Amino acid sequence: MASIDGAKVAFLVATEGVEQVELTQPWADVKQAGGTPVLLSTQDGTVQGFEHLDKADTFEVDEVVDDVSIDDFDALVLPGGVANPDQLRMHGNAVAFVRDFVESGKPVAAICHAPWSLVEADCVRGRTLTSWPSLQTDIRNAGGTWVDQEVVVDDNGPGPLVTSRKPDDLEAFDRETIALIEKARG
């Protein structure tokens, strides 16, 4: 696995509804590669993880998205879950954070339903990405090209965008995300 020693990676989630494995596996892989993951949310306190529709573990929020800057981070990871990105879409500062991060040119990674946040932030126009299949119409309507692949890396924008479809794709998703962080850090 690539080395991203010292990289600070934001994991942005709502307070409820994140697909737990889509948070915990990339988090562990970022740590294993030498990075520092930071859990951002829309509120202080804890985040409720889910295993599909069942409540799972809770996780302590490190920072509130309203109080941080994209300059504080080297990359952004957007875990999925159905409710998580739907709630993020309703939080103006979270949407602005995603938009600003994409426009900054730093790596952004989104899995499963998380590309809804990219759609809301108007960041898929002219880009090729994948997601959970139910998002394909939203992505196309927002000007993106949807493909059914394990992982897609799109460099057709200010910065690289990594997307994957589902938890089964996490190994490829994490590998490509960490490789892009390493490349971006030079």
Residues taking part in catalysis: 112
Length of the chain: 186
Strand segments, DSSP code E, in the chain are 8-12, 16-19, 36-41, 46-51, 54-60, 63-64, 75-78, 108-111, 128-129, 145-146, 151-154, 161-164
Residue 168, SS3 per DSSP: helix
Among candidate residues 80, 76, 14, 86, the one with its CA nearest the CA of residue 48: 14
Q: Give first-to-last CA distance, the chain, whole Å.
A: 16
Q: Residue 159 and residue 140: Cα distance in Å, rounded?
A: 20
Q: How many CB atoms lie within 10 A of CB 57?
A: 13
Helix (H) or strand (E) holding 22: helix 20-32
